[in-house]
């Protein structure tokens, strides 16, 4: 990779424009989950230790180029101050005199929501120039926004000496290890509701992995494509032709696709619903498939244990409601055990994935769990991320 890290930059006395992800959940003006804030702390502290002045740039919500008080970054300051253990200065704009007046050498400054300017999402050159005037060095620590060619993610990187922050560097190295140059055999677990939302991902993975597990609602579409009656299960019957094409591509590439051979079915998607395990060919027409069955889980676990690298995106069943989380929990816990034992490199990402792995008490033992959603998926789809490409320029 051709990008530089903080270790490659001279920061003493420099103003460091630092793109971070502060798009955190807020209720009644208070941050309810500070995970993304906590993850930028190493970068901010390292900049300070190197004699730099961190100037934080971030977006919050979708204000569509207008100043929306409810989407002001001012409300994240208490959580940011708690994470960093120091006071934070605030600039009421991200460009111009108001921003410049807030900055003090050796202190941390948070500037207002970049998306209050319509030029941010348009990657407007004038806005990027105005931002660049505030700093000497650009540091991107927001991998989660790297799939967007915005003024604060792509434009700035081309106007100042640029580098990746600690979180960005960690993420890029983990993904390169998992998909760029993995130790084989390589396995991917892909779950979720719809094939249509992960079509590019599946098409890319069948050419790159040795084993591909398909779970969740999208597995039902593949089962239907094989002529199996999935009853009232969530399935995209209009995508069965596409599913057959993916199965054919996997065959040609020598990629083994693992679909459920037994399933957990119920008449209703609700907690404690009466359910039973049946062979996949015997799904009753009045019932729905809500989880992968135990025999299939054992087959998945056996495949995981034969691999050296695992990429995970999406649950194997309707994990939000017990008992339909059992397949996801069992497979995730085995992947976590193998990782702890040094037998597996495991990288996971995507919103539902992080939630599912946390519920399974497995996330802390994975090699790397990405907090990025869209950027993680686009990387797995084989796409070039503008925010990363700009760092490599």
Tens of pLDDT along 90-131?
999 999 999 999 999 999 999 999 999 999 999 999 999 999
If pLDDT is split at 50, 70 and 90, which confidence band does 1 have? low
Give me the residue label for tokens 């069943």.
317
3-state secondary structure of 159: coil
Average pLDDT over residues 176-188: 93
Q: Is the pLDDT of residue 393 over 80?
A: no
Spatial CA neighbour of 390 closest among 40, 123, 57, 58: 123
Indicate the angle between helix axes 326-340 and 294-305, nearest 10 degrees: 20
| Structure confidence at residue 352 (pLDDT) | 84
Q: Is the pLDDT of residue 56 over 90?
A: yes
CA distance 222 to 65: 41
pTM reported for the whole predicted model? 0.89
Mean pLDDT rounded to a whole number for the chain: 95
Average pLDDT over residues 338-345: 98
> What pLDDT, in 10s, does the model give residues 208-221?
999 999 999 999 99
Q: What is the signed CA dihedral for 334, 345, 356, 200, rounded to 10 degrees?
A: -120
Average pLDDT over residues 252-261: 98
**Does the active-site annotation cover 194?**
yes
Q: Is the pLDDT of residue 373 over 90?
A: no
If pLDDT is split at 50, 70 and 90, which confidence band does 275 have? very high
CB 77 within 8 A of CB 37: no
Cα–Cα distances (Å) from 61 to 93, 129, 158, 193, 323, in that order, read 16, 23, 25, 25, 34
- How many CB atoms lie under 10 A from the CB of residue 185? 16
**Does the active-site annotation cover 96?**
no
**Does the active-site annotation cover 351?**
yes
Q: Is the pLDDT of residue 324 over 90?
A: yes
Q: Is the pLDDT of residue 390 over 70?
A: yes
Q: Is the pLDDT of residue 297 over 70?
A: yes
194, 299, 359, 383: the catalytic one is 194
CA distance 211 to 220: 18
CB 373 within 8 A of CB 353: no
Q: Is the pLDDT of residue 368 over 80?
A: yes
Average pLDDT over residues 14-41: 94
What are the φ and ψ backbone dihedral angles of 377, each rounded to 5 degrees? -65, -45
Average pLDDT over residues 13-21: 98
CB 184 within 8 A of CB 210: yes
Query: Is the model more confident about 393 or about 201?
Result: 201
CA distance 31 to 77: 9
Structure tokens at 313: 């995106």
CB 365 within 8 A of CB 126: no
Burial 157-173 (b: 16+ CB within 10 A, else e): bbbbbbbbbbbbbbbbe
Please list, in sequence order, all residues whose beta carbon lies within 8 angstroms of the beta carbon of residue 357, skipping any fewer than 6 positions away. 312, 332, 348, 363, 366, 369
Average pLDDT over residues 163-175: 94
> What pLDDT, in 10s, does the model give residues 190-208?
998 888 989 899 999 999 9
**Does the active-site annotation cover 39?**
no
14, 15, 19, 36: the catalytic one is 36
CA distance 188 to 314: 10
61, 96, 373, 374: the catalytic one is 374
CB 243 within 8 A of CB 225: yes
């Amino acid at each position: 990779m051709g990008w530089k890290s903080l270790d490659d930059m001279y920061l003493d006395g420099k103003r460091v424009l630092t793109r971070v992800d502060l798009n955190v959940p807020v209720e009644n003006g208070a941050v309810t989950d500070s995970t993304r804030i906590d993850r930028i702390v190493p970068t901010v502290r390292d900049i300070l230790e190197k004699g730099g002045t961190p100037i934080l740039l971030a977006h919050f919500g979708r204000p569509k180029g207008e100043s929306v008080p409810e989407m002001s970054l001012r409300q994240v300051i208490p959580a940011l101050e708690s994470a960093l253990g120091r006071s934070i200065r605030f600039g009421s704009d991200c460009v111009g005199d108001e921003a410049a007046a807030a900055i003090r050498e050796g202190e941390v400054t948070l500037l207002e929501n970049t998306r209050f300017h319509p030029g941010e999402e348009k990657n407007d050159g004038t806005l990027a120039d105005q931002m660049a005037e505030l700093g000497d060095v650009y540091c991107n620590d927001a991998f989660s926004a790297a799939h967007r060619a915005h003024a604060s993610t792509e434009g700035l990187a081309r106007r100042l000496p640029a580098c990746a922050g600690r979180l960005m560097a960690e993420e890029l190295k983990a993904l390169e290890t998992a998909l760029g140059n993995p130790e084989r055999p390589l396995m991917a677990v892909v779950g979720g509701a719809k094939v249509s939302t992960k079509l590019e991902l599946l098409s890319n993975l069948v050419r790159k992995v040795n084993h591909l597990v398909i779970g969740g609602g999208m597995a039902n579409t593949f089962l239907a494509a094989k002529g199996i009656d999935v009853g009232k299960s969530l399935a995209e019957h209009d995508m069965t032709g596409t599913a057959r094409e993916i199965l054919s591509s996997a065959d040609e590439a020598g990629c083994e696709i693992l679909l459920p051979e037994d399933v957990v079915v119920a008449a209703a998607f609700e907690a404690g619903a009466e359910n039973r395990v049946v062979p996949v060919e015997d799904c009753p027409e009045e019932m729905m498939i809500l989880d992968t069955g135990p025999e299939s889980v054992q087959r998945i676990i056996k495949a995981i244990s034969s691999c050296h690298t695992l990429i995970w995106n999406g649950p194997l069943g309707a994990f939000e409601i017990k008992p339909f989380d059992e397949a996801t929990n069992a497979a995730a816990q085995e992947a976590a055990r193998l990782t702890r034992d040094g037998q597996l490199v495991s990288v996971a990402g995507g919103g539902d994935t992080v939630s599912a792995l946390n519920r399974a008490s497995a996330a802390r033992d994975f090699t790397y769990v990405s907090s990025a959603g869209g950027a993680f998926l686009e990387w797995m789809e084989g796409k070039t991320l503008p925010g990363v490409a700009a760092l490599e320029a």
